[in-house]
């Protein structure tokens, strides 16, 4: 069997993005454009994957240092066009191989389209029929319907501009032929013209070689990203397709156009995402989980039956079954909630555990702490974990009751079944079952005459 060599072009500057970041590292659904291209390329089981880079290549190489797909990095040097990029890659490809060229900025290229091009034996160009062909190379067909040549937008005549069959950039050809044709297409030295990969079509025909056109069934998926508007279009299309897949797999979405998954979401049965939920990293939902409007979850595991009310932000959190969270809760890395635990509005937690059935229902900060099962933290409970230099731990026993507006100065231990009176500031441990409180005695002065404004201070 003819070995397949992939050539991925990623050396362009991406000037139109107007970004300091190389274009192929711009994120689509939270991952670099190039990562999507490589995922799809991996499905082809190619003998090699040659990545042509130039502009900011250290950053691109670093971003893919851990890639599971073996990558052959090729430095194009000064980019002189797509023909030059492929020609450089061909130095690493044996004549007998079949070459499949893809672009690092076409992140949603369908695997079926790549396979269709890879399968042929002569030259195959992947084309798409689009409503607005402006900016793309046009496929010019001979009267017999065969592909004659590809003309770039800026060089096309008015009639050619009206052609709606565009070059996606994906092209497959036998390596030895491609090398020969490209060498013949090289623009004369000194000229400003780029070296076009697309010129091999006319060269192949002149050589008597068949040139096939494969038309993509998903024209929106084969369009590249050149600027931020096109990136946003691809992001939406990606999210819509992903939402459709998730609904097919049983996830309930209040509105498939208002959910963003920038990572991997796995879910059990009867889970619901309300509008404007953002999922990042790796998030796992067991059965019957509800996530309210405007929530953000990054790298979380959520147990069955748990409900997260609107506008809660969870990162690096593990939640057991039947917990109630939010609205407006902020759970930071290292938060663990036991079964049936409750975290209400304006509660922040970090590196802290709430045992089964424990509650922190309002306006509370729990950091570097362990709270036992069934304990209740009143409104305004603060674990003072930071002394300005170091962090300290707070331990609160099972069924302990912490009155409202209490400051627990860590390190501190509150025993099982202990009670802390509202408004206390404690820095000493409290024994199990004890009541501890610090509270100034109120003083009442009867019939106290309020100060009156002197005439000097009277408003004019």
**Judged by CB under 6 A, does residue 167 bind ligand UD1?**
yes
Q: Which does 137 bind (CB under 5 to 8 A by kind): ligand UD1, Mg ion, none?
A: ligand UD1
Q: Which does 80 bind (CB under 5 to 8 A by kind): Mg ion, ligand UD1, none?
A: ligand UD1
Q: Which string of b and e fits 194-229 if b means at least 16 CB within 10 Å? A: ebbbbbbbbbbbeeebebbbbbbeebebbbbbbeee
What lies within 8 Å, CB to CB, of 418 at 6+ separation is 397, 400, 401, 430, 431, 432, 433, 434, 435, 436
Q: How far is the CB of 73 from ligand UD1 (least distance, A)?
A: 12
Candidates 237, 230, 97, 102; CA nearest to 167 is: 102
**Judged by CB under 6 A, does residue 169 bind ligand UD1?**
yes
Q: How far is CA 384 from CA 282, 313, 379, 392, 402, in A?
A: 31, 22, 15, 8, 14
User: Which residues within the stretch 210-249 sit at the binding site for Mg ion (CB under 5 A)?
Assistant: 224, 226
Q: Which does 385 bind (CB under 5 to 8 A by kind): ligand UD1, Mg ion, none?
A: none
Pick the piece of the chain touching ligand UD1 (CB under 6 A) from 4-12, 67-75, 409-417, 424-432.
4-12
Q: Which does 87 bind (CB under 5 to 8 A by kind): Mg ion, ligand UD1, none?
A: none
Among 72, 152, 160, 395, binds ligand UD1 (CB under 6 A): 152
Give the number of other Cβ atoms within 10 Å of residue 418's Cβ.
23
C-alpha–C-alpha distance, residues 80 and 193, integer Å: 9
Nearer to Mg ion, 209 or 226 (CB): 226
Among 6, 10, 291, 309, binds ligand UD1 (CB under 6 A): 10
User: Which residues within the stretch 186-215 sit at the binding site for ligand UD1 (CB under 6 A)?
Assistant: 196-198
- As given in the structure block, the two tokens for residue 87 are 């020609």
Q: How far is the CB of 138 from ligand UD1 (least distance, A)?
A: 8
User: Which residues within the stretch 216-275 sit at the binding site for ligand UD1 (CB under 6 A)?
Assistant: 224, 226
- Taking 3-state DSSP, the helix, strand and coil percentages for the chain, each rounded to the nearest 5, stand at 20, 35, 45
Among 64, 87, 136, 181, binds ligand UD1 (CB under 6 A): 136
Q: How far is the CB of 361 from ligand UD1 (least distance, A)?
A: 53
Nearer to Mg ion, 13 or 161 (CB): 13
Number of helices (H), then strands (E), belonging to the chain: the values are 8, 35
Q: How far is the CB of 102 from Mg ion (least distance, A)?
A: 12
Q: How far is CA 402 from CA 330, 356, 416, in A?
A: 20, 17, 11
Nearer to ligand UD1, 131 or 445 (CB): 131
Among 34, 37, 51, 85, binds ligand UD1 (CB under 6 A): 85
**Burial tier of 175 (Cβ tally within 10 Å: 0-12, 13-18, 19+):** buried
**Judged by CB under 6 A, does residue 50 bind ligand UD1?**
no
What's the length of the chain?
Answer: 460
C-alpha–C-alpha distance, residues 17 and 348, integer Å: 37
Nearer to Mg ion, 153 or 287 (CB): 153
Candidates 110, 139, 89, 135; CA nearest to 43 is: 110
**Judged by CB under 6 A, does residue 22 bind ligand UD1?**
no
Q: How far is the CB of 334 from ligand UD1 (least distance, A)?
A: 41
What lies within 8 Å, CB to CB, of 65 at 6+ separation is none
100 close to 5: Cβ distance less than 8 angstroms: yes
Q: Which does 84 bind (CB under 5 to 8 A by kind): Mg ion, ligand UD1, none?
A: ligand UD1
Query: Can you state the angle between helices 82-90 and 175-185, rounded to 10 degrees?
Result: 140
Q: Which does 196 bind (CB under 5 to 8 A by kind): Mg ion, ligand UD1, none?
A: ligand UD1
Q: Report the DSSP beta bridge partners of residue 166.
A: 128, 138
**Judged by CB under 5 A, does residue 107 bind Mg ion?**
no
What residues are annotated to the active site? Answer: 362
82 close to 185: Cβ distance less than 8 angstroms: no
Nearer to ligand UD1, 199 or 322 (CB): 199
- The dihedrals phi and psi of 387, each to the nearest 5 degrees, come to -95, 15
Nearer to Mg ion, 104 or 380 (CB): 104
Q: How far is the CB of 237 from Mg ion (least distance, A)?
A: 17
Candidates 423, 453, 416, 428; CA nearest to 440 is: 423
Number of residues this chain uses to bind ligand UD1 (CB under 6 A): 28
**Judged by CB under 5 A, does residue 380 bind Mg ion?**
no
Residue ranges in contact with Mg ion by CB under 5 A: 224, 226
Residue ranges in contact with ligand UD1 by CB under 6 A: 9-12, 52, 76, 79-82, 84-85, 103-105, 136-137, 150, 152, 166-169, 196-198, 224, 226
């Amino acid at each position: 069997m003819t070995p397949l060599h992939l050539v991925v072009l990623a050396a362009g500057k991406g000037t139109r993005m107007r970004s300091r970041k190389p274009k192929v590292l711009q994120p689509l659904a939270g991952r670099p454009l190039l990562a999507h291209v490589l995922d799809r390329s991996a499905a082809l089981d190619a003998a090699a994957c040659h990545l042509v880079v130039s502009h900011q290549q250290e950053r691109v190489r670093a971003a893919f240092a851990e890639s599971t797909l073996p990558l052959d990095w090729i430095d194009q040097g000064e980019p002189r066009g797509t023909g030059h990029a492929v020609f450089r890659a061909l130095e690493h490809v044996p004549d007998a191989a079949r070459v499949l060229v893809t672009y690092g900025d076409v992140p949603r290229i369908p695997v079926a389209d790549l396979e269709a091009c890879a399968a042929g034996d002569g030259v195959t160009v992947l084309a798409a029929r689009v409503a607005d062909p402006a900016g793309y190379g046009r496929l010019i067909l001979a009267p017999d319907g065969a592909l004659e040549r590809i003309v770039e937008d800026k060089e096309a005549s008015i009639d050619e501009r009206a052609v709606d069959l565009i070059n996606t950039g994906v092209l497959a050809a036998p390596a030895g032929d491609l090398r020969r044709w490209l060498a013949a297409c090289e623009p004369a030295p000194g000229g400003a013209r780029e070296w076009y990969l697309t010129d091999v079509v006319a060269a192949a025909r002149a050589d008597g070689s068949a040139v096939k056109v494969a038309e993509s069934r998903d024209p929106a998926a084969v369009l590249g990203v050149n600027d931020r508007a096109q990136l946003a279009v691809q992001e939406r299309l990606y999210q819509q397709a992903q939402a459709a897949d998730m609904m097919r797999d049983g996830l309930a979405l209040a509105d498939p156009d208002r959910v963003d998954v920038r990572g991997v979401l796995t879910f059990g049965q009867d889970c619901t995402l309300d509008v404007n939920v953002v999922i990042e990293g790796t998030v796992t939902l067991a059965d019957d989980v509800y996530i309210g409007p405007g929530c953000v979850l990054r790298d979380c595991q959520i147990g069955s039956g748990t409900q997260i009310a609107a506008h809660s932000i969870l990162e690096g959190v593990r939640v057991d079954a039947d917990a109630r969270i939010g609205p407006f809760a902020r759970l930071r890395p290292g938060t663990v909630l036991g079964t049936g635990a409750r975290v209400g509005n304006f509660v922040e937690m970090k590196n802290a555990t709430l045992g089964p059935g424990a509650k922190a229902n309002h306006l509370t900060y729990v950091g570097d702490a362990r709270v036992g099962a069934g304990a209740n933290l009143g409104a305004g409970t603060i674990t003072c974990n930071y002394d300005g230099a170091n962090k300290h731990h707070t331990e609160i026993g099972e069924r302990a009751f912490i009155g409202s507006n209490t400051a627990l100065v860590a390190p501190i231990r509150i025993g099982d079944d202990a009670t802390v009176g509202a408004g206390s500031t404690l820095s000493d441990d409290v024994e199990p079952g004890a009541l501890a409180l610090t509270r100034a005695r109120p003083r009442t002065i009867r019939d106290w005459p309020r100060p009156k404004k002197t005439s000097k201070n009277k408003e004019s």
